[in-house]
A and B are shown apart, each in its own frame.
Chain A
C-alpha cells in the first residue's frame, strides 16, 4: 500500500495541526498551466493534493467545478495525460500525497487493471471516485487495494450510524466527510455541526478525517482544521483560477500566482488554527 498518505498525516499529528487538502482540476485552464499550479502547491502550503479528473457529466459537482471540467476537456486533458502529470510531479516531489478525484466511467473505459498499474507506477497514492459507493466495491475499490492504492471514501450527513460501518468498509488513506448535503461549492456547514460530525465518524474509524464542501476562506479552513485532520478546499481555488483568466478563458501571467496565493493564505489559516484554538 502506498504509505505517503499515512506518513503525511502522522507528520501533521506530530506538528499538532490539521492539514490543508487542495483540489484543482487537471487541464484547467490548459494542461501546462494546471501542471505549474500542481507543482507549486506543496511549496504554497498544501499538505495533501487532490487532482481532479474531469467528466462530462459530473452529477455531484456545482457550477464552478462543472465549468472547470469543461475548460479542461476542451484543453484536451485525458486520464492518460493526467497520469503523465502525476509522473512529472513525482520527479520533484516524493512526499506529498496525490489523490485522483473523479467519476468512474473514464477509469472503467481506461480498463481497471491497466489504470491501477499505470497509476501506481506514475506515483499516485489513492483515488476518490464519487459514483462508487461501497455497494460497488468489486468494481474498483477492492482491485485498488490489491494494487496498493488507497480508496478514499466519501461520507455524508445522510450516512447514519447504521450505514457508517458499511460506507467505511474497505476504505483506506483517510475519510472525506462531505459537510453538507449538496453539490460542491454550495453553502457551508456550521463549525459546531462539523465538530459533531467528525466525532461521529471517528467513533467508527481510526483513519484521519478530512472535511470538505463549502470551505472558501482561510478562516473557514482554520475552523475545520481545528476539529478535523484536514480541510479540503476545491471550488474556491478553482474560482481564483477562473478569476485570473482572460476574456477567452486562457491563462494569464497571474493565473499560477492567483492559485498559489490563495493556497498560501489558506495554509496560513490552517497552521494557526490549533494555536489560536488552544488560546480560545
Chain B
C-alpha cells in the first residue's frame, strides 16, 4: 500500500476507499443517492460552480482564514513553531460552513425545496440553518436530546435562524441517533428534501463531496505557509469526530511525502474505560450510516455508544477515507482524553487569547504533548476548527464552576 503513486485519487466510482466507503442504504434512498452523485459529478468540473463557491466563501464566510503564528504557545512549549489555521474565525464560528455553502448550492441546482441535517455539537446545525436562512429554504435539524442539553446556546442560535430543531430521543440520544432520524426523514420525504450531511461520512458521494468542500482549508494553508516560511509544514494536526475538518486540512498534503499527518480522536474517560469515541484506535471495520468504516461495536455487530466531553466528537464512527488512510499508514491516529482536552482548552484561552472549541482542544492537547520534543524549526499546523463560546457551560460544569 505504501508504494501508491497518489493518496488523492479516491474514491472509485462506487465510492470505495480501499474496502471502506460504499453505499449501504435502503433501496428507497438509492435513486436519490444516484441523483446526488450525478449532481456532484457535474459540479466537480464546472468552473461556474467554483466561481459561485468562491464568491460566497469570500464575502459571506470570510475566507481565507488566517494562518496564525501562535507565538506564546510556541514559547511556552519550547519546541516546534506552532501555527493555528484559524477556521474558528469563519462566519458561524467553525469550519462547518465551508461544506454548507457547497451543499446548499448543490441543493439549489437540484431544485430541492427543503433541507434536513443532523448535528452533534450544533455547529453543523447552526451552519446549515445559516445557509438555509440566506438561501430562503426551510430547515429541519435533528439533534440528540443529550446534545441539546449540553449545547443550549447553539440550539437557540438555530431557532433564531429560523430552523426547526427536533430532539431525538432514540438510542443514545446523540449524533449517531440524530443521523438515523435524519435518514428516516429523508426516506419519508424523498421528493423535495435534500439531506445536508455535516461530515465526511454517509453513503457515496457524501464523503468525497464534503471533503472537496473542506479542502479549501488545506489549500489555503499550503499557500499561506509558503508565504510565511517559504516551504511546506512538517506536521499537520487536527481533531476527528467524523473527520471533515481533518480531511479538509490533510487532503491537499497527502502526496507531500515529508509532511507528517496526525488525526486526534476523543479518548473520553480513557480508551481502556470503554467510554470514548476513538473508532480507529479502539474500533474495528463495520457498516453504519451508509458506509463501511472503523466503528465502536460489540462482538455481535451492535453499535456501542461513544463518549466524549465534546459533542462534536461523540460519534462511534469516522469518515471512510480516514479508515483507509489509517490502514495505508499515511495518517497517524492518536487519542486525547476529556481531561487533557480541558487542560488544553484553558491553556490556549489564557496564553493565546483564543477560546477554542472542545473539539480542536483535543488537537491542541496533542500539540502540547509532542511540540516540546520537536526542533525549533519544525513547522506544525493545528486546525483551530471551531471557537469555544458554545462550550463554556460544559467547561464550567466540568471545572465545578457555577454560572
A residues contacting B by CB (< 8 A) are 55-63, 66, 73, 78-80, 103-110, 130-136, 153-160, 163, 167, 178, 181-183, 186
Contacts and interface: CB of A to CB of B under 8 A. Distances in A.
Given A60-B184, A135-B14, A158-B190, A79 B31 contact: no
A136 B22 contact: yes
Interface in B242-287: 286-287
A173 to B, nearest CB: 16
Nearest to B30: A133
A56 B31 contact: no
B288 to A, nearest CB: 6
Contacts of A155: 27
A109 B30 contact: no
Contact of B288 (A57, A78, A178): A57
B26 interface: yes
A183 B14 CA distance: 26
A155 B31 CA distance: 11
Interface string B16-34: 0000001111111111100
Contacts of A108: 286-287, 301
A56 B28 contact: no
Contacts of B392: none
B25 A133 contact: yes
Interface residues of B, number: 35
Interface of B: 14, 22-32, 170-171, 176-177, 180, 183-184, 187-190, 286-290, 295, 297, 299-303
A23 to B, nearest CB: 16
A59 B301 contact: no
Contact of A110 (B29, B184, B295, B301): B301
A109 B299 contact: yes
Given A60-B28, A131-B24, A154-B27, A109 B171 contact: no
Contact of B300 (A78, A159, A182): A78
Q: Which 8 A-B pairs have the closest CB atoms?
A: A109-B301, A106-B301, A156-B28, A182-B188, A105-B301, A59-B183, A78-B300, A131-B24
16 contacts: A60-B26, A60-B183, A80-B300, A104-B287, A105-B303, A106-B301, A109-B286, A131-B24, A133-B27, A136-B23, A154-B27, A156-B27, A157-B28, A159-B28, A160-B31, A181-B187
A210 to B, nearest CB: 15
A172 B303 CA distance: 30
Contacts of A80: 300
Nearest to A181: B190
B303 A183 contact: no
Contact of A183 (B22, B30, B187, B302): B187
Contact of B297 (A66, A79, A105, A167): A105
Contacts of A154: 26-28
Given A133-B23, A155-B27, A181-B187, A105 B32 contact: no
